[in-house]
Amino acid sequence: MAFLIIFLVIVLIIAFKSIKIVRQAEVYVIERLGKFHKIADAGLTVIIPFVDHVRSVVSLKEQTMDIPPQGVITEDNVTITIDTVVFYQITDPAKAVYEIQSLRRGIEYLAITTIRDIVGKMNLDSTFSSRDLINNQLRVLLDEATDRWGCKVNRVEIKDINPPADIRDAMEKQMNAERNKRAAILQAEGEKQAAITLAEGQKQAMILQAEADKEAQVRRAAGEAEAIREVAVAKAQEIQMIFDSIKKSNPDDKLIQLKSLEALQEIAKGDANKVFIPFEATNTLSSLGAIKEIIKDK
């Protein structure tokens, strides 16, 4: 009975040592007699007890590693503190186990030296404005260096960049000065634009007023010309009527001379400064002078 119990215990121990259940997204690195034997994927795996040994359990999921904040000297001799996080994933479990003593420690040291090398070639302003460039360079360099360790670096992100307190105060003052400068420029531009708009409005108003005055003068002149034309037409019609009536009455020379004098009298009433007398009218005037002398003698 005791032998049976011992036998059962031995069987259970052997079964426990032989049957391995590998969880999802994990693999077992199995050695046989101290030498790499195989990679056991997720599921049920049977090994030989006391011969095969599970060297390491490797996760295939993407992992994160927070790099401790590092003091880095920039090209312009400013010491800044950079906090970085690395996202990596193991692609070859055997290399991750056998090619390096500690994969995480190797990635950490490599990231620190790479950050110092990249940022050391940049000035302070560039480190703040070129985070994406720094992240990309870090990722490329780390990925190339860790490839022989069976690891792929997917992303590298700089969480924070902290300059010294005095540099931070100087940067804040510079930023305030830049903001005040931009505000003053915007205000000046606004005032300039307002003045230009006002001047354009006044110019347009003056142009419209001048065009209105011109149009009024043109219309006034046209009205006056039309009135003069109508008066001239009326006078011409009146003269024509008188001429026709005189012609019908078969007048003698004295009557014609008298009517000519009346016409000259009407012309002399006009606003013109000069009056042009027809040559024929001088004969009439001479006759009138002779008649005046005869009357005086009588």
**Burial group, residue 95, by CB count within 10 angstroms (0-12, 13-18, 19+):** middle
CATH of the domain at 89: 3.30.479.30
Token pair of 226, please? 């039309």
In a domain, 5, yes or no: no
Q: Are residues 71 and 123 in the same domain?
A: yes
Q: Are residues 185 and 99 in the same domain?
A: no
Token pair of 90, please? 């193991």
In the beta sheet, which residues pair with residue 283?
none
Report which DSSP code applies to 24.
T
Average pLDDT over residues 84-95: 94
pLDDT at position 289, please? 47
Residues 222, 214: Cα–Cα separation, whole Å: 12
- What total number of domains does the chain contain? 4
In a domain, 127, yes or no: yes
Tell me if the pTM is above 0.75.
Answer: no
In a domain, 2, yes or no: no
pLDDT 10s digits, 106-124: 999 999 999 999 988 888 8
Between 244 and 286, where is the model more confident? 244
Q: Are residues 126 and 50 in the same domain?
A: no
Reported as half-sphere exposure (CB side, CA atoms, 13 A), residue 26 has a value of: 14
In a domain, 8, yes or no: no
Where in the sequence is the domain holding 181, given as residue range(s)? Answer: 166-247
Asked if residue 30 lies in contact with residue 17, where contact means CB atoms within 8 angstroms, the answer is no
Q: Are residues 190 and 159 in the same domain?
A: no
Find the length of the chain: 298
279: confidence class by pLDDT, cuts 50, 70, 90: very low
In a domain, 206, yes or no: yes
Q: Are residues 97 and 122 in the same domain?
A: yes
Report which DSSP code applies to 170.
H
pLDDT at position 262, please? 64
pLDDT surpasses 80 at 167: no
pLDDT surpasses 90 at 5: no
Per residue, the 3-state secondary structure of 189-250, as one string, reads HHHHHHHHHHHHHHHHHHHHHHHHHHHHHHHHHHHHHHHHHHHHHHHHHHHHHHHHHHHHCC
Q: Are residues 222 and 280 in the same domain?
A: no
In a domain, 124, yes or no: yes
